[in-house]
Amino acid sequence: MSADGEISVISRSAPFLAAFRNRLDVGDYAPDFDALTPLGHRIRLFDDAMAGRPILLVFIGDLDCPHVARTFSDLARAERRIEQAGAHLVLVTSHTDGPRQRALSREQGLHAPILGDCNGALFARYGLVRGQDLEGEIAARSFLITAHGQIHSITDHPRIPLEETMDALSDLTSGPAADSGAGWIPGHAPILIIPKAFDPDDCETLIEHFNTSDGFRVAKPGPGEAGDYKFPVSDYNRQDRIDHVIKDQALLARLDKRINERVLPQIAKAFAFQVTRRETLHIARYAGPRQGIEIGHRDNTSPATQYRRFALSVALNDDYEGGGLVFREFSNRGYRGEPGTAFVFSSSLLHEIEETTAGVRYNLISHFFNDAAAQQPRR
C-alpha cells in the first residue's frame, strides 16, 4: 500500500494481468521484450548484441525478502561461470526501486542487467503473476533459452539447486550436443551452398583486381561518382576489413553471367524466390586482428536496408586460417568453401565473419532482392 493507505497502481496491475499470462513450456520459443535497466539502458532480449548465445533469464521477487536475497547472491556468485559458458544472464525483478537495485548489484558484484517490471507485464509474458508466483520456497524462476531462442528448461530456485541449471547450460554450450548438432542445437543454418559457382580464373581475377586497383577512400563517394573504389568497413570498431566496390563494366558483365547462370536458378529452386535486382558487388578483404567488438549482425534491420532478401558471399581463396562464416543462432560451426563456392542466406539471419588468424581472406559479396521489395514503403 502507499503511504496514505490506498492500494498502489503496481499492486493492482499485477493480479489484473493474471488473465493475460502466456502458457509457456519447454520447447516453446521465448517471447521477446525490451525494458530499461536502473541506469536507463534499454535491453531487448533478442537484440543482435544478445542473440546467438544462450540466455539464462531469471524472474525474481522483491530483492529485500530474505529468501529472494539468498537466491540473488547465488546468482551473483554464478555469474562468472555463466559468462565463461558463453551465455548471458538477465534478471527481471518485482523490485522497482532503481537505486536499491544498483546498490545491491554493487554489494554482490553483479554485472548482469536487472530489469524492474513495474506493472507485471514481463512476468505475465512468461506465465507468472508478479508478486504472487515467487513466494515461499520459490525465490526465482529461471528460463534457460537456447541460442536459437527456444526454452530449454524451466527451473524454480531454490527448490531445484542452481547447480542443475549450470549443468544444463554446460551441456548446451560445451557438451556433446553442442559439437554434434544433436538435441537442442540445430547444427546447420538454413543456407544455400553452391559449389563452383565461380571458376578458379574468376577468383584469381578478382583478387588481382583488388590488389592492383587504386582508389582508396575514407568514406563512400557521393551519387554520380564513377570508378572502382576501396573503403574501410568499421562496423563495431572492427579493423580487419577493407571493401573494394566494382564499377568496371567488363568485369561486372563477367560476374553477372556467373550469377545469372549458376546462382539465381538455385535461389529460385531452394527458396521459391525470383531475384530481379542486386546491390553493388564488393570484394571484401580480411586480414590481421579483428579487434573491436565481436558481434553478429543482420543485413536488413535498418530502414535503408530493409528491402534486402538474400545475402551472397563467394569464397575467392582458401589459403588462410580462421575467417569462418558463422550463424550462432544455429551452431558455432564456421562455414568455409573452396574458391568459387557461393553461400546464399536470408538477410534476416544473424551472422558474422570470424577473425582471420593467419593469411588473408577474400570473398565477393552482394545482396539480392526483387522489384516488390524495392517498392516496399520504408519504416
* Whether 66 and 167 share a structural domain: yes
Does residue 5 register a pLDDT over 60? no
pLDDT over 90 at 341, yes or no:
yes
Let me know if residue 356 belongs to a domain: yes
Residue 130 confidence class, pLDDT cut points 50, 70, 90:
confident
3, part of any domain: no
| Together in a domain, 72 and 207 | no
pLDDT at 1: 37
Burial classification of residue 3, based on how many CB atoms lie within 10 Å of its CB (0-12 exposed, 13-18 middle, 19 or more buried): exposed
Q: Does some domain include residue 197? A: yes
Q: Is residue 305 part of a domain?
A: yes
Residue 26 lies in a domain: yes
Note the pLDDT tens digit of each residue in 10-66.
555 677 777 788 889 999 999 999 888 888 888 899 888 888 899 999 999 888 888
Which of 20, 28, 188, 162 lies closest to 89, judged by CA?
162
pLDDT, residue 257, reads: 98
Please tell me whether residues 176 and 225 are part of one structural domain. Answer: no
Residue found under cell 529485500: 64
- Cβ pair 302, 360 in contact under 8 A: no
Same domain, 84 and 108: yes
Closest CA to 231 of 218, 221, 240: 218
Are 196 and 160 found together in one domain?
no
* 199/71 Cα distance (integer angstroms): 60
Whether 4 is covered by a domain: the verdict is no
Domain of 260? 192-374
Q: 96 and 228 in one domain? A: no
Q: At which of 180, 209, 237 does a domain end?
A: 180
CA–chain centroid gap for 351, Å, is 7
Least confident piece of the model among 158-162, 190-194, 325-329, 354-358? 158-162
3-class DSSP state of 217: coil
Q: How far is CA 349 from CA 80, 135, 184, 282, 297, in A?
A: 29, 40, 18, 20, 8
Segments in the chain forming alpha helices (H): 9-16, 66-84, 98-108, 121-125, 162-174, 176-180, 200-212, 249-258, 264-271, 371-374
Q: How far apart are CA 368 and CA 264, in angstroms?
A: 9
Average pLDDT, the chain: 88
Q: Are residues 164 and 263 in the same domain?
A: no
The band of 170, judged by pLDDT with boundaries at 50, 70 and 90, is confident
| Residues facing residue 345 across a β-bridge | 311
DSSP assignment letter at 347: T
Q: Are residues 53 and 134 in the same domain?
A: yes
**283: CATH:** 2.60.120.620
Q: Do 209 and 175 share a domain, yes or no?
A: no
Per-residue pLDDT tens over the stretch 210-257: 999 887 776 666 666 668 889 888 888 888 999 999 999 999 999 999
Interior angle at CA 329, CA 323 and CA 331, nearest 5: 60
88 or 176: which carries more pLDDT confidence?
88
Could you tell me if 335 and 205 lie in one domain? yes
Contact 215, 360 (CB under 8 A): no
Q: 174 and 203, same structural domain? A: no
Confidence of residue 281 (pLDDT cuts 50, 70, 90): very high
The CATH number linked to 119 is 3.40.30.10
Answer with the one of 180, 205, 230 that is the final residue of a domain.
180
Q: Predicted confidence band at 6 (pLDDT cuts at 50, 70, 90)?
A: very low
The answer to pTM > 0.85 is no
Same domain, residue pair 170 and 295:
no
pLDDT above 70: residue 8: no
**Domain boundary residue among 123, 149, 180?**
180
Range 309-329 average pLDDT: 96
pLDDT over 70 (residue 288): yes
What's the structural domain count of the chain? 2
